[in-house]
Amino acid sequence: MLNNVDTPIQTAHFLDMVRRAIGSDWVHTSATTVNRYGETTLPGADNPPPAVIYPGSVDEVVAIVIAANQTGTPIFPISNGNNISQGSRAPVGPNQVVVDLGRRMNRILDFNEDMGIVTVEPGVSYQQMHDELARRGGRFMIDVTSGPPAGSVLGNALDKGAGYTPYADHFAMTCGMEIVLGNGELLRTGDGALESARSWHMSKYSYGPYLDGLFVQSNYGIVTQAGFWLMPKPPVIRSFAFTFEEDDDVGDIVAAIRPLRMSGFVPTMMRLCNDLWLLASEGPHPNYVSGRSLTDDERRDLQRSHNIGSWTVSGAFYGGSEEAINPMIDRVRAHFAGLGRGRYISHDEAMEAPTLASAVAAYSGVPSVHEMKQLAWRPGGGMASFTPGVPMDRDLILRSSRKSREILQAHGLEYLKMYVCGPRFARGLHHLLWNRTIKDEDCAADQAYKALAAAYTEFGLQVGRSPIRYQDFHMSLLGAMTRKTCEAIKDVLDPQGIIAPGRYGIGREAIG
């Protein structure tokens, strides 16, 4: 492992080697470039790298990693750098040279239309993939996120990202990867390990240990391509939604969702959004005062003006025709009617409401920028995601929701939350929004995140993803043997500790 923080002389030698390997045009050191790559939406100062490198092939990535090893220079690989609210393009530690794979390695390398499999490089975005599928006749769709359409399909899967269709688990839809390890060696997982293999991206579980998972939320190597399974596009997609008036309805709603998802009757994940998660995308804060959150009366006024309640749940059905889907809609309406409250919102009504049309787009595999408009809720562009997983348990959901609201209001922030509900487990996405240009507000956001993390740890719950500012903290909460194992793997696959030291809390000694 590296013993010292990178030095300017070290970096200069490394960059000279990289220029010779990939060309000077693809090594950028201007203040404009590095400052842009250092920007985040998170609490605290930005972290500009000393340089940004743009490889164009796996061979160039290998050359960069070898040069990094020879000079002891830490590098920070990104795909498209659109992980907004998690850290964007900024490196996790000081003096890490950003390796931007998305600029030039953005090709769809193969498309097996019989099997519905694409092979992509890191720079292939959701919008690019959607457009290519449409160009090919729209037989398939890809599961999308709530994030920017420019986000990387591969990068999201490697950070345990997810969406809303039956193919919502993005890593589960990968099959076979090509990885440049931290020692400069090239690894192909799955059937790609067999030189004479007839196919690479059809079987996840070939002979031997399953290695792909080692490169998800880790810093052991740089994934340069992967196969993805595509979902056949159904002829008809119809959404349904219900909106409920009271904050404390959330527990009963989750209890009603659980049997629909456990039985598989509703094929999509179900989005359960609170009022401000939806409304913060519709316009700026109506009464912004730094250090103060909206009052309940102000929230009620917003609810009335947009004709929604405190919580709105939605999902979708797929079928060959509207006539085939209508009985399923009737059944889900009857199911939620059993709660004795809540208003049904039809597909057609949802399509007329921007707050709900973005959900329909997600169920349809269509990228959308709509929820990124939350960034304009308060001035100053602060956004951080807190993403605890919560069992689909009525009482635990209700207690943890109350606690989240209490913590955020105590720090002068609004409570924005979406539960992405599966059969037994929901990912509880919180978006913290604040003004980064006001120091007190920036500090309050940092304190609020830490208070949420402490509260959910006390509940016995942990996050699925983490902003770069808090990755070391979240790793520290895990058991000693887990941390020791992660470090041992790092030592084997990246013995010099050059790939993103500190990312996900792994290889911390490489930057300190």
* Pair 36, 146 in one domain: no
- Residue 204, domain member (yes or no): yes
Distance of alpha carbon 261 from alpha carbon 272, whole angstroms: 13
* Pair 368, 450 in one domain: yes
For strands 425-434 and 221-229, give the pairing: unpaired
pLDDT in tens, 196-230: 888 899 999 989 999 999 999 999 999 999 999 99
- Residue 346, domain member (yes or no): yes
For residue 508, name the pLDDT band (cuts at 50, 70, 90).
low
* Pair 414, 506 in one domain: no
Other Cβ atoms within 10 Å of 489 Cβ, number = 14
* Pair 427, 306 in one domain: yes
For residues 76 and 17, is the Cβ–Cβ distance under 8 A? no
The pLDDT, as a whole number, for residue 197 is 87
Residue 511 has pLDDT above 80, yes or no: no
Residues 6+ apart with CB under 8 A from 305: none
Count up the domains in the chain and report the number.
Answer: 3
* Pair 325, 453 in one domain: yes
pLDDT in tens, 274-329: 999 999 999 999 999 999 999 999 999 999 999 999 999 999 999 999 999 999 99
* Pair 190, 271 in one domain: no
* Pair 350, 246 in one domain: yes
Last residue of a domain, one of 232, 255, 290: 232
Q: What is the CATH number of the domain that holds 164?
A: 3.30.465.10
Distance of alpha carbon 458 from alpha carbon 55, whole angstroms: 44
The percent of residues above 70 in pLDDT, for the chain, comes to: 98
pTM of the model: 0.95
Which of helix, strand or coil describes residue 84?
A: coil
* Pair 425, 366 in one domain: yes
Distance of alpha carbon 466 from alpha carbon 457, whole angstroms: 14
pLDDT in tens, 360-407: 999 999 999 999 999 999 999 999 999 999 999 999 999 999 999 999
For residues 258-267, one letter each, b for 16 or more C-beta atoms within 10 angstroms of the residue's C-beta and e for the rest, the string is: bebbeeeebb
* Pair 113, 256 in one domain: no
For tokens 């590095």, what's the residue? Answer: 34
* Domain range enclosing 305: 236-466
* Pair 265, 358 in one domain: yes
Assign 3-class secondary structure to 377-438: CCCCCEEEEECEEEECCHHHHHHHHHHHHHHHHHCCCCCCEEEEECCCEEEEEEEEEECCCC
- Residue 476, domain member (yes or no): no
DSSP annotation of 291:
T
Averaged pLDDT for residues 243-261: 98
- Residue 372, domain member (yes or no): yes
- Residue 474, domain member (yes or no): no
